[in-house]
């Protein structure tokens, strides 16, 4: 990986990226223009393994190392839309993976804290994201959250969990939004948006999705 993300400008993939954005908008109904602009500017090809670079702007999930995957562009766009990120949002992300989704969040929010369970993935993502000054990555069990910077305006979990981890709900600010795939089978989830209001938690469901399992104290056992 030679270049790090976060450097602007056109590259040999600019047209492929613009095409991906058109497809997200016209065929899949992604309508938040800020989200589409972020998807149009982050160089996804720098986040996928070299062998898959030519597929980087297709609407596919792709394998990364350690049996993990980089999510397909559509699910990244959908989850980002559901978060309703503002310029001042402080965001916690669980499941850094390649760091692609992290970069999208960093284009939209203020400060991003991201936790990855697999140390090698966390350090590779950190290198890729070095161009962003508003991202902090650490290796660890994200189901415990990251107390030090809490509360968070937004929390995004990019792995499938049997429940909404209690520490994440506790570290969510009032008025905050948690987006998380939840399901009682490891490979099948329902995408949920949970709002923390003064009256309690409000849940909305956005349909079936498939993520690798969230493994940790408040997620799945190994
Ligand atoms: N958003 C990523 C893809 C995430 S795949 C991207 O754009 O590339 C889900 C990731 O969650 C995997 O990397 C997996 O290792 C990680 N993960 C699983 N359980 C976790 C936990 N308890 N804490 C932090 N990360 C976890």
The string of DSSP codes covering 44-69 is GGGTS-GGGGGGTTSS--EE-STT-E
Across the strands, what pairs with 94?
115, 157
CA atoms of 86 and 161, how far apart (whole Å): 26
Q: Is 183 in the pocket of ligand 1 (CB under 6 A)?
A: no
From the list 201, 200, 207, 142, the residue with the least C-alpha distance to 181 is: 207
State pTM to two decimals: 0.96
Q: Is 94 in the pocket of ligand 1 (CB under 6 A)?
A: yes
CA atoms of 113 and 90, how far apart (whole Å): 8
pLDDT of residue 187: 84
| Residue 97 CA to ligand 1 centre (angstroms) | 5
Assigned fold of 5-209? Rossmann fold (3.40.50)
| Residue 214 CA to ligand 1 centre (angstroms) | 7
- Residue spans per domain, the chain: 5-209
| Residue 114 CA to ligand 1 centre (angstroms) | 10
Q: Is 98 in the pocket of ligand 1 (CB under 6 A)?
A: yes
- Catalytic site positions: 71
Taking the CB of residue 69, how many other CB atoms lie within 10 A of it? Answer: 17
| Residue 117 CA to ligand 1 centre (angstroms) | 7
CA atoms of 96 and 157, how far apart (whole Å): 9
pLDDT of residue 8: 60
Strand (E) or helix (H) holding 94: strand 90-94
CA distances from 162 to 44, 89, 220 (A): 29, 27, 7
- The DSSP output letter for 145 is -
pLDDT tens for the chain, 222 residues: list them: 334 666 566 788 999 999 999 999 999 999 999 999 999 999 999 999 999 999 999 999 999 987 889 999 999 999 999 999 999 999 999 999 999 999 999 999 999 999 999 999 999 999 999 999 999 999 999 999 999 999 999 999 999 999 999 999 999 999 999 999 999 988 899 999 999 999 999 999 999 999 999 999 999 998
The residue to mutate among 117, 119, 155, having the most atoms of ligand 1 within 8 angstroms of its beta carbon, is 117
Beta sheet of 135-139, edge-to-edge order: 135-139, 111-116, 90-94, 152-157, 172-185, 188-197, 200-209
Q: Is 212 in the pocket of ligand 1 (CB under 6 A)?
A: yes
The residue to mutate among 78, 118, 159, 168, having the most atoms of ligand 1 within 8 angstroms of its beta carbon, is 159
């Amino acid at each position: 990986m030679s270049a790090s993300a976060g450097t602007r400008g056109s590259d040999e993939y600019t047209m492929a990226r613009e095409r991906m954005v058109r497809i997200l908008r016209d065929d899949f109904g992604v309508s938040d223009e800020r989200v589409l602009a972020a998807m149009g500017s982050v160089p996804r090809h720098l986040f996928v393994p070299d062998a898959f670079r030519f597929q980087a702007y297709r609407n596919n999930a792709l394998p990364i190392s350690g049996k993990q995957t980089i999510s397909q562009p559509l699910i990244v766009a959908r989850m980002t839309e559901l978060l309703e990120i503002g310029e001042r949002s402080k965001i916690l992300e669980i499941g850094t993976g390649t760091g692609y989704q992290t970069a999208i969040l960093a284009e939209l929010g203020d400060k991003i804290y991201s936790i990855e369970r697999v140390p090698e993935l966390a350090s590779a993502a950190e290198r890729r994201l070095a161009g962003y000054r508003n991202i902090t990555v650490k290796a660890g069990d994200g189901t415990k959250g990251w107390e030090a910077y809490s509360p968070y305006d937004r929390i995004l979990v990019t792995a499938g969990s049997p429940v909404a981890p209690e520490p994440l709900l506790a570290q969510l600010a009032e008025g905050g939004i948690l987006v998380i795939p939840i399901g009682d089978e490891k490979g099948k989830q329902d995408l949920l948006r949970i709002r923390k209001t003064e009256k309690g938690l409000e849940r909305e469901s956005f349909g079936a999705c498939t993520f690798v399992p969230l493994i940790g104290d408040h997620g799945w056992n190994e």
